[in-house]
Amino acid sequence: MARRAEERPLIDLKIETTATRKSVTDSIAEHLREAILSQTLPGGMPLIEKQLAEEFGVSKTPVREALLRLAQTGLVDFVHAKGATVHQLDFIEMQDVLEMRFVLEPLALKQSAPKLTGDDIRTLEHLLATAAKPQTQQNLSKLSEVNNSFHNALYSRADNVLLLKWLSDLNDRRRLISVKGWKTENRSSEERKEHKAILQAIKQKNFALAVKQLERHINNFASLVLNHHPLAKEAA
As a whole number, mean pLDDT of residues 39-45 equals: 89
Decide if pLDDT at 154 tops 80. Answer: yes
Query: pLDDT tens digit string along 183-218?
Result: 777 778 899 999 999 999 999 999 999 999 999 999
Reference 150, options 175, 123, 173, 132; nearest CA is: 123
- Whole-angstrom distance, CA of residue 44 vs CA of residue 188: 27
* Cβ atoms of 8 and 46 closer than 8 Å: yes
pLDDT more than 70, % of the chain:
87
Q: What is the pLDDT of residue 233?
A: 52
Convert the pLDDT of each residue in 13-38 to its tens digit: 555 544 555 689 999 999 999 899 88
Return the closest-CA partner of residue 52 out of 19, 18, 76.
Answer: 76
Residue 3 pLDDT > 70: no
The pTM is what?
Answer: 0.81
Q: Residues near 3 by Cβ (< 8 Å), separated by ≥ 6?
A: 42, 45
CA distance linking residue 17 with residue 58, whole number of Å: 8
Domains and CATH numbers, the chain: 5-86 (1.10.10.10), 91-235 (1.20.120.530)
Provide the β-strand partners of residue 86: 76
62-74 per-position pLDDT tens digit: 999 999 999 988 8
